[in-house]
Structures are given as structure tokens and as C-alpha cells.
Chains A and B, each alone.
Chain A
Amino acid sequence: MFSCTNPDQIEGLNWLVCYLSTAKHMAFYQSFVVVLSLVLITAPLALLFGLMAASASRSAIAVMRWPAKIYIAMVRGVPDIVFFLFVPLALDQGIEYIRHRALCSDQTGSVWQGNDFIVCDIAKMPLSSASAWAHDFYGFMLAVTAYAIVFGAFAGNVLAGAMAAVPHAQLETGSAFGMSRRQVYWRVLFPQMWIYALPGLSNLWVLLIKATPLLFLLGIQDIVYWARELGSAKTSAYTYPHPDWRVWYFLALLIFYLFVTWVSERVFDRLNRRFSRGQAVLMNSQQAGG
């Protein structure tokens, strides 16, 4: 066994092992967990948003239908990156504005003064006295919201398409049996649509994974941040001097994403086979026909 106390005296593989287990590298490995947790938290939220939007877009009430339709359509026209930059900032300012109005009602001036956004100290989110951990968590939650909104709109597209794909005759049969609209929705449409939605949803899952490096744009210390930080050239003033290694760090990230998408693809393939059992969809007839 060797120790890492004198890095300049060790060489080769031992040096590499020591180098890869510094405190900063541990933070780098933790950021992979952050990325995966973002995906795992966002996916169900986005599915919920999408489900609500897709259901509302079929509503008979115009006030419910049109906002849902606009929400679903927005990701077709505007790049998702714009939302990732806009939503966290807008949310943050919105929250601070409301707190400012509620907590410091004595200040009547506009919060936008020149090129600044000024709220009183006790309206800050999180409070400037809060720990660094609270700041990180708040930033992460803003990012989760932004991702959930954007991917909720994507999921809304997929689910609206899937609801439209459920054979109309089945819904009519439901109402012929005397079911109410609500009953038709929950007993016929809802259970039937998933098989039509699955290919689109699996694609969305991969899309969500591939969108995670954009966390870097939101100022979160994610894997891209650490790859740049750790990979940049270190002079001999550092414990572990090395030339510019960023290209290797990014190569490692590419391999990581390749692996995650590969695993997801296999899981969804299996799910798709499981769910389409006994369904009259194209895949089965192809299998039956050879």
C-alpha cells in the first residue's frame, strides 16, 4: 500500500490513483449523482405536467383547453435552452418580488432600478445569511422546475398524440355503455394510451438525459463545470501538476452518457415488449408475420 501524502515523489499508476482520489475529484464524482438525481426527480414531474396538459388540451372548456395547447406548442417554436436560461431567473425574481411586496410593504419604489433588481434584505431567496448548502439546494430546485416545465411540454405533445391514437370506437363504445366523460377517460382512454405513448416517452427520457449537461448554464457545479475545472492545465504550484487535460475529461463524459443512453435503450426495449403483449399494434403483427 502507498500513501498520497507526497504526490511529487510517486509515479505512474500510483500517482494516477492518488490524483483521481483528491477531494475535488470526489466532488466531481458526486456531481454525477446530482445529474442522475435531477433526471430521476424531473422525469415524474414532467410526466405529471404533460399528463395534465394533454388532458386539459382535450377539455370541453375553452379556458382550460387553450392555455394547455399553447403550453404544449411552445417547445416546438422556442429552443429549450432559452427556457433553461429564462425560467430559473424569472422564477427567482418572481419569488423575491412577491416576498418583497409582502415583507417590505413600506418600500414603494420599483424593484427594477436602472440595471438592477433590488429587493429588501429579508425578501432575498435564500436569505444571504443562509448556508452555502441552502443556496445550492435552491438553485437545484429552480433547475428542476425549469426542466420539468420544458419536458412537461414535450411529454404533453407525446401524450396528446397517444390519446388521439386510442381508437375512437373504443371511446364511443364506452359512452354507449352509459359511461360519463370522466369514466370514459379513466376506464378506457387512460389505460389504453400508454402503449401508444411509450416510444415517444422513451425518446423523451433519452432527450432528458442528453439535456442534463445544460445544468452548467444555470451556474450549478455539475459534471461539465468540474470537467473544465479539473482538466485545465495545472502549474507546478499545484499538488498534481499536469498539462491541459480537458479533452480527456470530456471524453470521459462522452463515455458516461453513451453508457447511460445504452442502458436506457435496453430497458425501454424490454418495457415496450412487455406492454405491447396482446395489443394490436404494428410491432406484434410484424413479429407474428415473421
Chain B
Amino acid sequence: MSSCLNAFQDYGLRAIGYGERLLPKADITICEQFALIGSGLIWNIFFGVLAIVIGYWFALALAVGKMSGSGWLCGFSVGFIYLFRGTPLFIQFFFAYELFVLLPKVGITLDLWVVTIDLETRWLTRAWLGALLVLILNTSAYSAEIFYGALRSTPRGEVEAAMAYGMSGWQRFWRVLWPHMMRLAWPSYTNEAIFLFHATTLVFFSGFPAWRQSGDALYYANYFADKTFNPFIAYPIIAFYFIIFTLMIIVLFSWINRRLNRHLPQHAKQRLSIRLNVIR
């Protein structure tokens, strides 16, 4: 039991650089596998949460851009969504990594009148920034398509009523279109969040190097399966962790779903059911 505690002390935060430097090599215990794979999960959560939170706003902009129907903004949105939805995330990672490697190492200084920003391009070749960027762009494209579909099915009467009240375009969007869109899009968006979280396991298999063997959960699970030549322990452990976290996402998102629908009469409320009709 105490050795199990030790394993968690040594490897519980190993993925972000704390604790034992060397990974376990011989006589690997189940506790060590649990601890190390669990610590790798920190990266999956980091990527998942940041990509969803930042990607949400970008997706909103893209959906509105596509909704506008004409002009360069619409063209850009349509092209962007098509490009990222039509190609595999795995290849996007590889391509982005090779692109970032080619960028000049010195960094670019942006002179923004008041402040100067030093953009250190070398960080882009690290997984935490480079892969995060790809994940943000990727989830933005998928979410934008979901939001666009929801925006399109807003009843015309609601927008016309808002116009009759003399709301400006900005007010119409935030007070009428946006809440309606959120309500309609939420079940699909929950799916997107789950599958994005699952997609974060690709990061360390796709060109981005794991610096000092600090990788995500699947990186460590794969490490153990290679080392012990026994896939029947490491992979079920990571499956266990992912099931727990997927359930947590579902609980969180259905709580938000209830809030989004709280004004509706009882019979019109829809429980959030995770259907896999259209995925990513």
C-alpha cells in the first residue's frame, strides 16, 4: 500500500515535469501505471479545455461569417471550415509541425504601436503551443458547422420581432440569435467536446516530440505496453480514465443544457441525449 502511495508521489505529476525523472523500466507495478497514465491525463485535459474554450469564440465568429452569405468573410469561413473538416486531424498535426519547424527560429517582433510583442516561434514546435493551436483551429471548424446549422434554423419570426423592437444588429445577435443557437446546438456541441477530448490523445504520436518524456495519457499507456509487452493492463487503465472523464463532460454539459432550456415549458424540454448520429 505504501509503495502504491510512493508511486503516486513519484509519478503523479511526472507529465508536467515534477517528480521522478526516469520512467519505470523493470518490475513495473500496476500502481505506477495508474499514476503515470493519470498524470498524462493532465495534458489531455489541458488541450481539451483550452481548445474548447478558445475554439468556441472562434467558431462563433466563423459561423456568423458563413451565415453572412457573401463577401470575403463568408468565403474565408466556408473555406476554413471545409479545409479543416475535410482532412484528418492526424495529417494536420504533421503538416503544422513541419511548417512550424521551417519558421525562423529567432522570433518575430510585432510593433503594435503601443506595445511590442515578441513572438517566439520556437515555442510553436512544442506540443503545448503548436498542437494546441491545431486543436483550436480544428475544433473551431467542426463547432462552426454545428453553430451554423443551428443559426440557420432560428425561426424568422424571432428575428423580425427583434427588428420591430428596434434592436441593433449587435443586440439582435446577442439577445435573440445567440441564445437560440446555443440551445439548438448544445447536444451536437457536447458530442464535439467529447470527441475533441478523445482526439487530444493523437498529439504525441504526430510529430510533436514529447519533451523529457512528458507526454499525455496515451503516450504513457503506449510506453508501458511496449515495455511490458502486455497490452491488457495499460490500455484498460487509460480506457477507465477516459470513461470517467467522458462521463464528467456529459454531466457538466447536461447541466448547462438544463440551464439553456430552463425557460421552456416542461413538455418542450429535451433531455440531453448523446446520440452518435453525426460525429466530427
Which A positions have Cβ atoms within 8 angstroms of B?
75-82, 85-86, 89-90, 93, 112, 114-117, 154, 157-158, 161, 199-200, 203-204, 207, 209-214, 216-217, 224, 227-228, 231, 244, 246-247, 250-251, 253-254, 257-258, 261-262
Q: Are B95 and A250 in contact, with the CB atoms below 8 A?
A: yes
11 A-B pairs within 8 Å (CB atoms) are namely: A76-B246, A157-B275, A161-B276, A204-B279, A207-B279, A224-B91, A246-B94, A257-B87, A257-B88, A258-B87, A261-B86
CB atoms of A115 and B201 under 8 A apart: no
| Chain B residue nearest to A253 in the complex (CB) | B91
Cβ-defined contact, A154 with B276, below 8 A: yes
The reply to whether B231 and A78 form a contact with Cβ atoms under 8 Å apart is: no
Residue of A nearest to B231 (CB): A89
Q: Say yes or no: A250-B94 contact (C-beta < 8 A), given A86-B231, A86-B235, A89-B225.
A: yes
B residues 246-275 in Cβ contact with A at 8 Å: 246-247, 274-275
15 new A-B pairs (CB below 8 Å) besides A82-B242, A161-B276, A212-B88? A76-B194, A80-B198, A81-B202, A85-B222, A90-B235, A93-B231, A115-B228, A157-B275, A158-B277, A199-B278, A203-B278, A207-B279, A224-B94, A227-B94, A254-B92
Report how far A212 CA is from B88 CA in the complex, Å: 8
Q: Mark B91-120, 1 if CB is under 8 A from A, else 0.
A: 110110011011000000000000000000
Max chain A C-beta neighbours (<10 A), residue from B90, B232, B239, B247 = B90
**Residue of B at shortest CB range from A79?**
B198
B230 at the interface (CB under 8 A from A): yes
Number of A-B pairs whose CB atoms are under 8 Å? Answer: 131
CA distance A213 to B275 in the complex (A): 26
Q: Give Cα distance in the complex from A246 to B95, angstroms.
A: 8
- B247 near A77 with CB under 8 A, answer yes
B178 in the interface (beta carbon within 8 A) = no
B243 in complex: contacting residue of A78, A117, A214, A257, CB < 8 Å: A78
A159 to chain B, nearest CB (A): 11
- The answer for the CA separation of A207 and B85 in the assembled complex, in Å, is 10
Bound CA–CA A146/B100 (angstroms): 33
Minimum-distance CB pairs A-B, first 9: A79-B198, A77-B243, A247-B98, A157-B276, A250-B95, A86-B235, A210-B88, A117-B229, A261-B86
Flag whether B49 is at the interface (Cβ < 8 A).
Answer: no
Task: Give the residues in chain B near A93, CB-CB below 8 Å.
Answer: 231
Q: Is the CB of A158 within 8 A of B276?
A: yes
Taking a contact as CB atoms closer than 8 A, the residue among A85, A114, A251 that contacts B95 in the complex is A251
Please state if B98 and A77 are interface contacts (CB–CB under 8 Å). Answer: no
Q: Are the CB atoms of B90 and A224 closer together than 8 Å?
A: yes
User: Do B88 and A82 touch across chains, with their CB atoms under 8 A apart?
Assistant: no
B80 to chain A, nearest CB (A): 13
**B residues whose Cβ falls under 8 Å from a Cβ of A:** 26, 28, 82-83, 85-92, 94-95, 98-99, 101-102, 194, 198-199, 201-202, 205, 218, 221-222, 225, 227-232, 235, 238-239, 242-243, 246-247, 274-280
Contact A79 B199 (CB under 8 A): yes
Residue from A75, A82, A117, A257 within 8 A of B86 (CB atoms): A257
**Neighbouring A residues of B194 by C-beta, 8 Å:** 76
Q: Please name all residues of chain A whose beta carbon is closer than 8 Å to the beta carbon of B222 when the two chains form the complex.
A: 85
Do residues B95 and A79 form an inter-chain contact, with CB atoms below 8 A?
Answer: no
The 8 Å CB contact of A213, one of B28, B88, B98, B277, is: B88
Known A79-B201, A161-B276; judge A247-B95 contact (CB<8 A).
yes
CA distance A217 to B88 in the complex (A): 14
Most chain A C-beta atoms within 10 Å of own C-beta, residue among B26, B205, B243, B276: B276
Tell me if A76 and B274 are in contact (CB < 8 A): yes
| Chain A nearest CB, measured from B90 CB (Å) | 4
Residue with the highest number of chain B CB atoms closer than 10 Å, among A115, A116, A228: A115
In the complex, chain B residues whose CB is within 8 Å of the CB of A199: 277-278
B91 lies within 8 A of A81 (CB): no
**Which A residues are in CB contact (< 8 Å) with B198?**
78-81
Which residues on A sit within 8 Å (CB–CB) of B243?
A: 77-78
Cα-based distance from A262 to B82 in the complex (angstroms):
9
Q: How many angstroms between the C-alpha atoms of A127 and B99 in the bound complex?
A: 42
Question: Of all chain B residues, which has the CB nearest A200?
Answer: B277
CB < 8 Å neighbour of B201 from A82, A112, A258: A82
- B residues in contact with A250, CB < 8 Å: 91, 94-95, 98
